[in-house]
Amino acid sequence: MDYDTYAPLASWFEATWVGDQMRNIFWLFPLMETIHFCGLTVMFGSLLVIDVRVVGFGRFINMDAALKFIPIAIGAFLVNLITGIAFLCADPFRYFPNIAFQWKLGLIVIAGLNALWFWFGEHDVLKQLADGEDAEFRAKVIAGLSIAIWVGVIIFGRMIPYVEY
């Protein structure tokens, strides 16, 4: 990514109150990392319950009960969004040019589109499934993509500290 492309936005993030606090309170960054990890664990665990049931590996899970994890996954995602923005504000000139960060953000956008496809395309049909009943192929594709995309997000997120521009 060209410096001139991201420099104005990076400067804005860096100048925020959050950026200042993240850089000047020595315990804040590790606290945000801990919260980010906990949020990721809850979100991915919730998505796994849903997606494993939809894919068909967890047919013993009641579909209605599995779908009740959606608000938990959304809440955990919001926790990660907030902590992720705090990381970005702490050192935007390190994150913006980082290819692992760029891939992570791209995959998060794709995951969001996949989630919209799930919600508007399959959610109501899945709610009607009886215990042990198999989901349609389209729903299985969405669930399988969800797992793969979020594994990619996790991998690229872990790569951020180790990838230079």
The reported pLDDT for the residue numbered 165 is 66
- Percent of the chain residues topping a pLDDT of 90: 87
Based on the number of CB atoms within 10 Å of its own CB, is 92 exposed (0-12), middle (13-18) or buried (19 or more)? buried
> Cα(150)–Cα(17) distance, rounded to whole angstroms?
30
Banded pLDDT at 164 (limits 50, 70, 90):
confident
What is the average pLDDT across 122-129? 89
Mean residue pLDDT of the chain comes to 94
Based on the number of CB atoms within 10 Å of its own CB, is 164 exposed (0-12), middle (13-18) or buried (19 or more)? exposed
Statement: residue 129 has pLDDT above 90: no
Statement: residue 1 has pLDDT above 90: no
